[in-house]
């Protein structure tokens, strides 16, 4: 079985980011970058499926400038077999990204596509579902457990109301949630080996897609800050304030 | 005399284990706001199997044109392989397709949008005009206002950001209910099971008071303290990602960037440090209380009332004094 995993380069989750003072975007020019945490979970799951004998090839793909090759090398160090860099300087919206990934899986014909459920910059939570719809693959979102059963993959999904398990016919697109696994750290020998693994660069224009962004950013602003609160010294004082001052009890 | 035609909006009705979900009323609250910018004929779409009761509830929503019902085996578990291509066809006659930004809405709306070649706008927290909307990015560190140039808008609505409308009572005049042809079953996926935690407490996203615990609770048994507190206050219980990852409580209690977004009147955070991802899920609460023994915990920066104390002393005292 071949697995395609899509990964995204984002601002590291530990960095606090703020809007630019002119409101045109976020101040991320010098921020530390990393692989989106949900994408790391997707790579880890693919590697585990290969270790368990279900998969024989893991292809990792990323879309963006030459900088995304850093994240592709990270994924190769975690255990992916080869990488594809779709090169563009454009920042694509989820729909454009899903069209690019759709073009790629038409070429690669994987049985399973793993993507993170959302990226921690745009927080859209769209690309995997769009890819499933465009490709006609079955869809398992917000996965916290994945099991292969013959020509089906069983996916346990984290829903607002609890957990749901679905059996999906392959090929399938699965979006990964936090509790699917705990990603490993790459070892130094694997980081060295990753440098020798194949990484193909495809200019976006070569895919022959007509892509257009549709959302115009009018402003980016900080959310309303909460006003500084007070410290109370005891539960008695707290209950009194909640009753008399805040009127919430 | 020519008459200006209203634009049409389609709302996907969500059901929970109690039937007609509260999120639908919040979505109607967002529609009320949208109507300040454009005149709308609103259709509600109920999807399910044997869902006549749900349709009857939907028909009591005021100011709608009609309720459409797709009732069949193929709709029973809301499987996206069946629903998404069908919705993409059904939705072509509408200017707006709107759903709650819940796991239900998130599962369906992006695929529908992709098949319609539309870039959707998800997690909308404010409506600025008929075609511009605010949504949070970077775990709520910023709000971006985006305008779309597309004729059809697909939106998912954050329930915490809009006021619920009131459902008309049983005696009110109900909107007409019409059947639509349901989707065929494409047999690409099968429902196996669903584990829903039974609870008699209010829904986390609709509760007036939320009591949340973090890693400081130490284990699942200690959450009993919070359940007692919640029972006394008529509150829902939430948790941080750390508490869920550690197995103290189930995933559906998680509040935060990737969990539930809540905005109750009172949010009581107990033994919870307040990572930015958690604060993303509760920062719009009206009053925030933090109880934590670490005086430097970031949760104190968003708390209206902070108490530096051991929760195992403080919570029993709080139980006594309520």
Q: Which residues in chain A have their CB less than 8 angstroms from residue B108's CB?
A: 129
| pLDDT at residue B1 in the model | 45
Of the pLDDT bands very low, low, confident and very high (cuts 50, 70, 90), residue A161 is: confident
List, in order, residues 6 or more apart from A146 with CB less than 8 Å away. A45, A49, A140, A153, A154, A155, A156, A174, A180
B81: contact with A, CB 8 A cutoff: yes
CB count within 10 Å of CB B211 equals 30
B239: contact with A, CB 8 A cutoff: no
Choose from B110, B127, B159 for mutation: most chain A CBs within 10 A: B110
Is the CB of residue A165 less than 8 Å from the CB of residue A155? yes
Q: What is the β-pairing status of strands A172-176 and B126-127?
A: unpaired
Q: Which residues in chain A have their CB less than 8 angstroms from residue B296's CB?
A: none
Choose from B76, B304, B322 for mutation: most chain A CBs within 10 A: B304
Angle at B175 between CA B170 and CA B180, to 5 degrees: 125
Query: Is the predicted pLDDT of residue B173 greater than 90, yes or no?
Result: no
Of the pLDDT bands very low, low, confident and very high (cuts 50, 70, 90), residue B199 is: confident
Rounded to a whole number, what is the distance in Å from the CA of B3 to chain A's nearest CA?
Answer: 31
Provide mean pLDDT across the span A67-73: 98
pTM of the model: 0.95
Q: DSSP states of B114-161 as a string?
A: HHTT---EEEE-EE-SSSEEEEEETTTTEEEEEEE-SSSEEEEE-GGG
B251: contact with A, CB 8 A cutoff: yes
Q: Which residues in chain A have their CB less than 8 angstroms from residue B191's CB?
A: 164, 166
Provide mean pLDDT across the span B130-137: 98
* Tokens 């699917």, residue located: A180
Cβ pairs A/B, distance under 8 A: 254
**B193:A221 CB<8 A:** no
Query: Is the predicted pLDDT of residue A87 greater than 80, yes or no?
Result: yes
Closest to B304 measured CA to CA, from B253, B264, B277? B264
- Specify the DSSP element, H or E, that contains B264: none
Provide mean pLDDT across the span A207-231: 94
* Tokens 């003072």, residue located: A21
**B137:A26 CB<8 A:** yes
Residues 29..68 of B with a Cβ closer than 8 Å to A: which? none
CA atoms within 13 A on the CB side of B264: 27
For residue A84, the cross-strand partners are A61, A200
**A223:B120 CB<8 A:** no
**B287:A242 CB<8 A:** yes
Q: Which residues in chain A have their CB less than 8 angstroms from residue B266's CB?
A: 242, 246, 248-249
Residues 110..139 of B with a Cβ closer than 8 Å to A: which? 110-115, 117-123, 128, 132, 135-139
B145: contact with A, CB 8 A cutoff: yes
Q: Which residues in chain A have their CB less than 8 angstroms from residue B283's CB?
A: 223, 226
CA distance A162 to B33: 31
Q: DSSP states of B174-242 as a string?
A: PPPEEE-PPPPP--SEEEEEEEE----SPPTTT-SEEEEE-GGG-STTTHHHHHHHHHHHT-EEEE-HH
**B266:A11 CB<8 A:** no
- Specify the DSSP element, H or E, that contains B279: helix B276-279
Please, is A80 exposed, middle or buried when counting C-beta atoms within 10 Å of its C-beta (0-12, 13-18, 19+)? buried
B149: contact with A, CB 8 A cutoff: yes
- Tell me how far apart the terminal alpha carbons of chain A are, to the nearest angstrom: 58
- Helix (H/G/I), strand (E/B), else coil: A21: coil
| Full strand arrangement of the beta sheet holding A230-232 | A230-232, B305-308, B287-292, B266-270, B209-213, B236-239
**B251:A122 CB<8 A:** no
Provide mean pLDDT across the span A36-52: 98
Tens-digit pLDDT profile for residues B3-19: 567 899 999 999 987 78
Q: Which residues in chain B have their CB less than 8 angstroms from residue A126's CB?
A: 110, 113, 120, 122
Provide mean pLDDT across the span A56-73: 98
Tens-digit pLDDT profile for residues A226-237: 888 999 999 999
Of the pLDDT bands very low, low, confident and very high (cuts 50, 70, 90), residue B2 is: very low
**A242:B266 CB<8 A:** yes
Tens-digit pLDDT profile for residues B47-75: 999 999 999 999 999 999 999 999 999 99
Residues 89..108 of B with a Cβ closer than 8 Å to A: which? 102-104, 106-108
Measured on CA atoms in the order B13, B16, B20, B25, is the torsion positive or negative?
Answer: negative
Q: Look at A85 and B201; give whichever has higher pLDDT.
A: A85
Q: Which residue of B has its CA nearest to A220?
A: B144
**A241:B305 CB<8 A:** yes
ipTM of the shown complex: 0.96
Tens-digit pLDDT profile for residues A25-38: 999 999 999 999 99
Q: Which residue of A has its CA nearest to B295?
A: A231
Is the CB of residue A98 less than 8 Å from the CB of residue A134? yes
CA torsion angle A48 A52 A55 A60 (round to 10): 10
For residue B153, the cross-strand partners are B96
CA distance B159 to B21: 11
Choose from B111, B241, B319 for mutation: most chain A CBs within 10 A: B111
Instruction: Tell me the average pLDDT of chain A.
Output: 97
């Amino acid at each position: 079985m071949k697995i395609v995993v899509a990964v995204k380069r984002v601002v590291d989750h530990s960095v606090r980011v703020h809007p630019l003072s002119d409101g045109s975007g976020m101040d991320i020019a010098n921020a530390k970058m990393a692989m989106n945490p949900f994408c790391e979970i997707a790579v880890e799951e693919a590697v585990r499926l290969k270790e368990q004998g279900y998969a024989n090839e893991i292809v990792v793909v990323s879309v963006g400038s030459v900088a995304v090759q850093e994240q592709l090398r990270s994924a190769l160090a975690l255990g992916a077999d080869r990488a594809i860099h779709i090169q563009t300087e454009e920042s694509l919206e989820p729909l454009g990204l899903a069209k690019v990934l759709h073009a790629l899986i038409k070429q690669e014909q994987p049985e399973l596509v793993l993507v993170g459920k959302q990226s921690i910059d745009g927080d859209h939570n769209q690309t995997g579902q769009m890819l499933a719809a465009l490709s006609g693959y079955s869809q398992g979102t917000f996965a916290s457990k994945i099991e292969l059963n013959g020509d089906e993959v069983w996916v346990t999904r984290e829903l607002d109301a609890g957990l749901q398990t679905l059996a999906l016919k392959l090929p399938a697109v699965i979006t990964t949630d936090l509790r699917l696994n705990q990603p490993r750290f790459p070892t130094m020998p694997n980081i060295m080996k990753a440098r020798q693994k194949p990484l193909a660069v495809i200019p976006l224009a070569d895919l022959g897609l007509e892509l257009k962004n549709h959302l115009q950013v009018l402003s980016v602003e900080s959310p309303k800050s909460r006003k500084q609160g007070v410290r109370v010294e005891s539960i008695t004082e707290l209950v009194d304030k909640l009753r008399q001052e805040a009127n919430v009890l | 005399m020519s008459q200006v035609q209203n634009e049409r909006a389609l709302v996907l009705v969500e059901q929970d284990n109690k039937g007609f979900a509260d999120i639908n009323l919040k979505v109607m609250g967002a529609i009320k706001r949208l109507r300040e910018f454009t005149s709308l004929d609103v259709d509600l779409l109920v999807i399910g199997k044997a869902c006549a009761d749900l349709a009857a509830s939907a028909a009591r929503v005021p100011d709608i044109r009609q309720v459409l019902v797709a009732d069949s085996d193929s709709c029973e578990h809301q499987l996206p392989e069946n629903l998404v291509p069908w919705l993409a066809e059904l939705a072509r006659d509408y200017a707006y397709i709107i759903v709650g930004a819940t796991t239900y809405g998130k599962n369906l709306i992006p695929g529908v949008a992709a098949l319609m070649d539309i870039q959707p706008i998800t997690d909308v927290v404010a409506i600025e005009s008929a075609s511009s909307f605010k949504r949070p990015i970077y775990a709520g560190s910023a709000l971006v206002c985006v305008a779309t140039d597309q004729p059809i808008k697909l939106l998912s609505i954050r329930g915490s950001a809009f006021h619920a409308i009131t459902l008309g009572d049983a005696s009110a005049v109900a909107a007409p209910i019409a059947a639509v042809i349901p989707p065929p079953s494409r047999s690409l996926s099968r429902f196996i099971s669903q584990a829903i935690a039974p609870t008699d407490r209010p829904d986390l996203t609709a509760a007036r008071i939320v009591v949340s615990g973090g890693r400081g609770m130490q284990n699942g048994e200690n959450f009993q303290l919070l359940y007692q507190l919640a029972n006394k206050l008529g509150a829902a219980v939430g948790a941080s990602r750390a508490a869920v990852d550690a197995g103290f409580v189930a995933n559906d209690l998680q509040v935060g960037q990737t969990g539930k977004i809540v905005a109750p009147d009172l949010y009581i955070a107990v033994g919870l440090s307040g990572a930015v991802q958690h604060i993303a899920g509760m920062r719009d609460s009206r009053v925030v209380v933090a109880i934590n023994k670490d005086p430097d915990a970031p949760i104190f920066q968003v708390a209206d009332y902070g108490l530096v104390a051991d929760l195992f002393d403080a919570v029993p005292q709080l139980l006594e004094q309520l």
